[in-house]
Structure 1
């Protein structure tokens, strides 16, 4: 992936030098280590965002963090990994900015927060063990770049374009928030069964994969920066983080009714749909019988 020399985004906030702190305070409530363990197990086995699990256990809907942040810092010059992330984020801004303009709207780009350990968010205390995540409460993507090492070594998905796909997927959740998809799905919580809620979550995540494919399509058209093997590395990443692959790795048992992100084959299919078509309309995972 030939990313060097391309524009870098100014919407990157570097909290890595601030340390993680020792407390986990959410919405005025403290949470015990047992709650955190349950949340992380739910993430590892079922793909459920730990912030969601913690909110359910502690009785909160959209927990608010009470810690205050100082002025946002930019990544230091010479930080190659941060430069890569900033470049990928800039490419998502360009791609979605173009798409929104063509639709007669203005794209509001998210901020991407780099952190280590733990960090406060509008959705609760974010932890590096969660992997990258998007918080609609503050419209920020959170990333501990050590996850890229996990993606490569533990999950078997190396390559810069695999990392770029992960970032594009989280930005896609921001696009869903701007389009109102996130709000509509959230409104269904508590009104449907757990299995139905899981099924809705799968459709949300597969649409985000498809949107990530749209980004790949548009950024390649604009920059011609992909090299041989890049698409394959992204497809491999999509396969490695499919619910069936993660469940098989964690417990040896696959439970489709508990899927929240989709199977490996589904994730690959929808990323490829976005990649081939470059069309938002083609990513309508909510009105199709076959995922």
Structure 2
């Protein structure tokens, strides 16, 4: 992937160790009640490795939580993240403008160890995530090494897919998907499970990542041989069924939150092949 062609973002933040995301809880006009905490404990993680690492579950700070440290950021990795984020800003800005809407860019916070966000305290263990409370993406760059070593998903485009997936959650926030999911949940729709709201929302974020991949390639011509396979490999390694089989030796569909490996590959490919937002309706029919 010739990622150097990407536009550099002005919305990249390097966490100073003082806490990143500007407060705790969902009150104070953020429009998210305590139910939002429950939703966020399920939504937003790429790998959903350790939801208990989101430590502020009730609006109070757990003083035993990992503290944010000044992020140690390799200049080349920072430049890579900035280029990918910048390309998503251009892509989604153009898509929104074509339909008469304005896209508001998210911030991306690079942190080390732990971070304070509007969604609570989180540690590196949760993996990359998006917090709708402050409309920020949070990423500890050490995750990229884990992506390669633990999950066998190496390559620049695999890493770009991770960022694009989290940006996909921001697109959902801009389009009102988070509000609709919360309303459906309050009306009794299940969050977890093979057909749950969480799975449908995560698969849509995968599809949006595919839309970005399609549009950015049309504009920048930056993909090289094997790049698409890198992203598809990453998607296949992080399905609920694959992760459950590896960690607990059995697959439990009733506890799915992100979809199977096949579903994640399917929906990323759907967005990649169509390049159309309209192709990403994961909330209707079979997924």
Distance in 2 (CA, whole Å) between partners of 1:197 and 1:186 is 18
Q: Which among 131, 138, 144 is matched to residue 135 of structure 1? A: 131
Question: How far 1:4 sits from its partner (Å)?
Answer: 1.6
Tell me what 1:120 maps to. Answer: 116
Which of 80, 93, 96 is the matching residue for 2:76? 80
- Rounded to whole Å, the distance in 1 between the matches of 2:3 and 2:198 is 32
What is the DSSP-based 3-state SS (H/G/I as helix, E as strand, rest coil) of the residue aligned with 1:95?
helix
**1:265-284 counterparts in 2 under 5 A?**
265-284=262-281
| Residues 64 and 268 (structure 1), Cα distance of their counterparts in 2 relative to 1, 3 Å cut | farther
Q: How many residues align?
A: 263
2:17 matches 1:18: yes
- 1:33-75 CA-to-partner distances (Å, cap 9, x unmatched) read xxxxxx99xx99x9377279756xx4x3xx47799xxxxx999
Q: CA RMSD in A?
A: 3.3
Q: Normalization by structure 2: what TM-score?
A: 0.82
Preserved contact between residue 13 and residue 74 of structure 1 (Cα < 8 Å): no
Match of 2:213 in 1: 216
Q: Deviations over 1:79-102 (max 9, x none)?
A: 000000000000000100010010
2:90 to 90, 94, 119: 94
Corresponding residue to 1:153 among 149, 155, 179 = 149
Q: Deviations over 1:234-283 (max 9, x none)?
A: 00000001000110111110011111100000000000000000111110
280 and 159 in structure 1: CA distance in 2 versus 1, 3 angstrom threshold:
same
Matches within 5 A, 1:142-291: 142-192=138-188, 193=190, 195=192, 199-289=196-286, 291=287
Q: Which residue number corresponds to residue 37 of structure 2?
A: none
Verify the 8 A CA contact 2:8 2:86 in the aligned structure 1: yes
Give secondary structure in 2 for the equivalent of 1:189: helix
State the Cα distance separating 1:233 from its structure 2 match.
0.4
* Unmatched tracts of structure 2, length 5 or more: 26-39, 64-69
CA 208–195 in structure 1, closer or farther in 2 if over 3 Å, else same:
closer
Cα distance in 2 for residues equivalent to 1:205 and 1:259:
11
Which residue does 1:47 correspond to in 2? Answer: 48
1:20–1:184 CA distance, 2 compared to 1 (3 A) = closer
2-structure distance, mates of 1:252, 1:200: 25
**SS of 1:120 mapped into structure 2:** strand
Moved more, 198-207 or 184-193: 184-193
1:118/1:198 Cα in 2 relative to 1: closer, same or farther (>3 Å)?
A: farther
| Contact 1:189–1:197, Cα closer than 8 Å, also in 2 | no
Conservation of the 8 A alpha-carbon contact between 1:65 and 1:122: no
Distance (whole Å) between structure 1 residues aligned to residue 140 and residue 54 of structure 2: 20
